[in-house]
Amino acid sequence: MEFIDALINILNSTIRVSVPLLLACLAGLYSERAGVFDIGLEGKMLAGAFAGAAAAAVFASAWIGLLVAVLVSIGMALVHGFASITHRGNQIVSGVAINFIAAGSTIILGQAWFQQGGRTPSLPPEARFGAINLPGADALRDVPVIGQLYSGLLSGHSLLTYVAFLAVPFTWWVLFRTRFGLRLRAVGENPAAVDTAGISVAWLRYRAVICTGILTGLAGSYMALAQNAGFVKDMTAGRGYIALAALIFAKWKPVPAMFACLLFGFLDALSIRLQGSPLPVIGKVPVQLMQALPYVLTVILLAGFIGKAIPPRAGGVPYVKER
């Protein structure tokens, strides 16, 4: 029983840690599948987190916070789109610029508006997304294993957690079962063909980066409004980059992306749990090893040991119509 409790706790922790990764990873998926590399996930998440926390603090409403976060993230995504789609700029440079703008402007605006050194005020419960108890969770709590899994693991997360996991099948459906998805994938592989068919490459790519904006806004909101109670400078702490690693690890596919994020989240949760407490056979596992594993795994993958990660062929290349 104790083992199951410990397992549920670790899995719970895994889910909480994975959600921002998953949202950011899916966000990157839309953009990169359409041929726009996006290293600015981190910046958009950070801007979203700040905007969400600021709006939620001012209006005392989590929903307004979420809305503003999404709008601001879309705005940042459109800047990236404007630079790299309309003006055919270097997508990496533009993405890095987004990260810098977000890191600097959130602190400056935060200081100007709230005078707390770039921090937003601590949010009251009504301005946050609280835990949702699924129906029957309390009644099933004492049923061994199944009941425990249901009430301990599936129930009791914030709304955004459920949204994040539902976004996975939704993304799969959009990408592989709709006309928009087909065109989106085509524009990332062979934009000239899409153009020949009379479809605007630029407009398609813009729609893809808007999707990215929405999802990074959700990721930022989750961090500021559900996981924490407010914005603290640099609070994304590199999660945008881990999400990128997860995206590569998942070979730009939605369902594997979810598993990659869960794996990375699990390693993180495990490293917290195992810190200082030795395992039965192996002994003490260094925390550093756990923390480095996501990157190590991605590098191993890129080196071609676990299958092959082939990015969308037109990724990173601005589309120029032949004249």
Partner 1 sequence: MKRIVLGLLAATAMCLPALAADVQPALLYDLGGKFDKSFNEASFNGAEKFKAETGIPYVEFEVSNASQRDQALRRFAEDGRNPIVMAGFAWSEALSKVAADYPDLKFAIIDMVVEQPNVKSIVFKEHEGSYLVGVMAALASKSKKVGFVGGMDVPLIRKFGCGYVGGAKAAGATEVIQNMTGDTPAAWNDPTKGGEITKTQISQGADVIYAAAGGTGVGVLQAAADGGRLGIGVDSNQNGLQPGKVLTSMLKRVDVAVYNAFMDAKNDKFEGGINNLGLKEGGVDYAMDDNNKALVTDEMKAAVEKAKADIIAGTVQVHDYTSDDKCPY
**Site for partner 1, rule CB under 8 A:** 9, 12-13, 16-17, 20, 116-119, 122, 223, 227-229, 232-235, 237-238, 268-269, 272-273, 275-276, 287-288, 291
- Tallying the residues shown for the chain, one arrives at 323
Q: What angle do CA 163, 255, 178 make, to 5 degrees?
A: 80
Nearer to partner 1, 67 or 229 (CB): 229
For the CB of residue 286, give the shortest distance to partner 1 in the complex, in Å: 10
For the CB of residue 10, give the shortest distance to partner 1 in the complex, in Å: 8
> SS3 for the chain, per residue?
CHHHHHHHHHHHHHHHHHHHHHHHHHHHHHHHHCCCCCCCHHHHHHHHHHHHHHHHHHHCCHHHHHHHHHHHHHHHHHHHHHHHHHCCCCHHHHHHHHHHHHHHHHHHHHHHHHCCCCCCCCCCHHHCCCEECCCCHHHHCCCCCHHHHHHHHHCCEEHHHHHHHHHHHHHHHHHHHCHHHHHHHHHHHCHHHHHHCCCCHHHHHHHHHHHHHHHHHHHHHHHHHHHCCCCCCCCCCCHHHHHHHHHHHCCCCHHHHHHHHHHHHHHHHHHHHHCCCCECCCECCCHHHHHHHHHHHHHHHHCCCCCCCCCCCCCCCCCCCCC
Nearer to partner 1, 134 or 287 (CB): 287
Nearer to partner 1, 182 or 285 (CB): 285
For the CB of residue 125, give the shortest distance to partner 1 in the complex, in Å: 9
Nearer to partner 1, 16 or 80 (CB): 16
Backbone angles phi, psi at 131, to 5 degrees: -75, 140
Checking phi first, is residue 200 left (phi over 0); if not, alpha (psi -120 to 50) or beta?
beta
Q: Which one, of 235, 196, 186, lies nearest residue 47 by Cα?
A: 235
For the CB of residue 251, give the shortest distance to partner 1 in the complex, in Å: 27
Nearer to partner 1, 296 or 306 (CB): 296
Nearer to partner 1, 16 or 183 (CB): 16
For the CB of residue 12, give the shortest distance to partner 1 in the complex, in Å: 8
Nearer to partner 1, 210 or 270 (CB): 270
Q: Which one, of 298, 301, 221, 209, lies nearest residue 261 by Cα?
A: 298
For the CB of residue 115, give the shortest distance to partner 1 in the complex, in Å: 9
For the CB of residue 288, give the shortest distance to partner 1 in the complex, in Å: 6
Nearer to partner 1, 84 or 227 (CB): 227
For the CB of residue 37, give the shortest distance to partner 1 in the complex, in Å: 25
Nearer to partner 1, 276 or 304 (CB): 276
For the CB of residue 48, give the shortest distance to partner 1 in the complex, in Å: 14
